[in-house]
């Protein structure tokens, strides 16, 4: 069992923040000797020295600084827990936990979380997972929201709420030097291709497109990861199939070019949440434009 006494840690935390034993004792309505004894017991239990004296001042040792950093986090989390359990709401300063499908476009994710980035008082975490991992983490209350491009349907066990964040047309993208039209013609048959891998809606859409035009593509690489497709498209000189948002920076800088859109082919991006009594206050800010 841990030797850490959180009651003693709380007294240390208050003294460390105040920097004065007498003033802290007055604030906590206990005697100075009792407060000093509590801190001494903490030091003995942990076998470390947390303060040194310089005249009337108490100065933190290196161990004391480490202890203060952890205590700040511990008691901040305690405050958040107390509010969550007593009022059913979390503090706005509590981190919002966002899961993202590991193969999802990072450019799209950055655009979506921009409101969080622009707020100085906002903390958030991004966790990359498989689709199954996302839903399991949501079910176990480890995430406030999941971002994916795979549709999610509710069940008798989980009442998932899936919102379409964006609907992006899918384009054929490649080096800017190719002589290609914005309509499919014979020149496309002479190109090499980088394609999404496996049971991917984009790959299925491209295969249907290829069948329609009797195209037998020379495939040089496949990947189920959009970040990898982005690199392969940039470095192989081949054509690729993806939403323009995936390679937005390369398109803006002229490193790649969008040649044509696949007819009636789109990739949907979803935000998945669960019906809960306690909802992070920042969640509404992200999803409000969609409601």
**143: CATH:** 3.40.190.10
| Average confidence (pLDDT) over 76-89 | 68
- Please, are residues 46 and 3 in contact by the beta-carbon 8 Å criterion? yes
158 and 275 share one domain: yes
CA distance 183 to 186: 10
110 and 195 share one domain: no
Q: Which of 58, 87, 116 is the last residue in one of the domains? A: 87
Residue 1 maps to a domain: no
How many domains does the chain contain in total? 3
In terms of Cα–Cα distance, which of 54, 63, 72 is closest to 13? Answer: 72
Unique residue bearing structure tokens 């980035």: 117
Within the chain, what is the greatest distance between any pair of CA atoms? 90
The C-alpha R_g of the chain, in whole angstroms, comes to 28
In terms of Cα–Cα distance, which of 76, 108, 83 is closest to 268? Answer: 108
- Please, are residues 71 and 13 in contact by the beta-carbon 8 Å criterion? yes
| Average confidence (pLDDT) over 6-20 | 87
Residue 232 maps to a domain: yes
178: pLDDT strictly greater than 90: yes
Q: Would you tell me how many other CB atoms lie within 10 Å of the CB of residue 230?
A: 24
Which domain CATH number covers 188?
3.40.190.290
Residue 64 maps to a domain: yes
Residue 202 maps to a domain: yes
Strand order from edge to edge, sheet including 145-148: 124-129, 96-101, 145-148, 257-274, 160-174, 239-243, 192-196, 218-223
155 and 281 share one domain: yes
| pLDDT per position as a tens digit, 33-74 | 888 898 899 888 888 999 888 777 788 898 888 888 888 888
Q: How far is CA 119 from CA 74, 122, 246, in A?
A: 23, 6, 25
Residue 112 maps to a domain: yes
53 and 139 share one domain: no
192 and 160 share one domain: no
195 and 248 share one domain: yes
CA distance 291 to 287: 7
200 and 109 share one domain: no
Q: How far is CA 96 from CA 91, 126, 270, 278, in A?
A: 10, 9, 17, 13
Residues 6+ apart with CB under 8 A from 285: 115
106 and 152 share one domain: yes
159 and 277 share one domain: yes
Residue 138 maps to a domain: yes
Q: List phi, psi (to 5°) of 272.
A: -110, 125
Unique residue bearing structure tokens 């491209």: 206
Please list, residue by residue across 130-156, b when 16 or more beta carbons sit within 10 angstroms of its beta carbon and e when fewer do. ebebbbebbeeeebbbbbbbeebeeee
Give residue 200's pLDDT band: very low, low, confident or very high (50, 70, 90). Answer: confident
Residue 156 maps to a domain: yes
Residue 230 maps to a domain: yes
What is the model's pLDDT at position 291? 43
What is the model's pLDDT at position 157? 63
Tokens of 287: 């999803």
175 and 259 share one domain: yes
Q: Which of 59, 87, 115 is the last residue in one of the domains? A: 87
| Average confidence (pLDDT) over 197-216 | 89
| Average confidence (pLDDT) over 3-19 | 85
- Please, are residues 196 and 206 in contact by the beta-carbon 8 Å criterion? yes
Q: What is the mean pLDDT of the chain?
A: 85
Residues 186, 188, 192, CA angle at the centre, nearest 5°?
A: 135
77 and 108 share one domain: no
Domain coverage including residue 245: 167-267
Q: List phi, psi (to 5°) of 247.
A: -120, 35
Number of H helices, E strands in the chain: 11, 10
213 and 141 share one domain: no
Work out whether the CA dihedral 239, 242, 247, 253 comes out positive or negative. Answer: positive
What is the model's pLDDT at position 1? 39
């Amino acid at each position: 069992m841990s030797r850490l006494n959180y009651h003693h840690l709380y007294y240390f935390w208050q003294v460390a923040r105040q920097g004065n034993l007498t003033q802290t004792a007055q604030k906590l309505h206990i005697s100075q000797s009792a407060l000093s004894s509590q801190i001494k017991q903490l030091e003995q239990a942990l076998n470390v020295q947390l303060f040194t004296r310089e005249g009337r001042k108490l100065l933190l040792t290196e161990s004391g600084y480490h202890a203060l950093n952890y205590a700040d986090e511990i008691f901040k989390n305690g405050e958040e827990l107390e509010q969550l359990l007593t009022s059913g709401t979390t503090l706005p300063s509590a981190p919002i936990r966002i899961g993202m499908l590991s193969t999802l476009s990072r450019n799209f994710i950055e655009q979506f979380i921009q409101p969080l980035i622009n707020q100085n008082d906002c903390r958030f975490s991004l966790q990359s997972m498989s689709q199954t991992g996302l839903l399991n983490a949501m079910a176990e209350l480890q995430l406030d929201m999941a971002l994916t491009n795979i549709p999610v349907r509710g069940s008798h066990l989980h009442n998932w709420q899936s919102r379409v964040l964006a609907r992006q047309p899918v384009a054929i993208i490649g080096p800017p030097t190719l002589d290609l039209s914005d309509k499919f013609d014979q020149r496309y048959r002479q190109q090499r291709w980088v394609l999404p891998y496996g049971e991917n809606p984009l790959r299925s859409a491209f295969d249907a497109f290829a069948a329609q035009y009797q195209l037998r593509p020379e495939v040089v690489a496949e990947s189920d990861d959009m970040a990898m497709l982005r690199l392969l498209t940039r470095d192989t000189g081949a054509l690729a199939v993806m939403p323009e948002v995936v390679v937005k920076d390369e398109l803006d800088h002229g490193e790649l070019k969008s040649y044509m859109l696949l007819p009636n082919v789109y990739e949907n991006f979803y935000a998945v949440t669960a019906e809960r009594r306690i909802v992070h206050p920042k969640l509404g800010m992200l999803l409000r434009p969609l409601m």
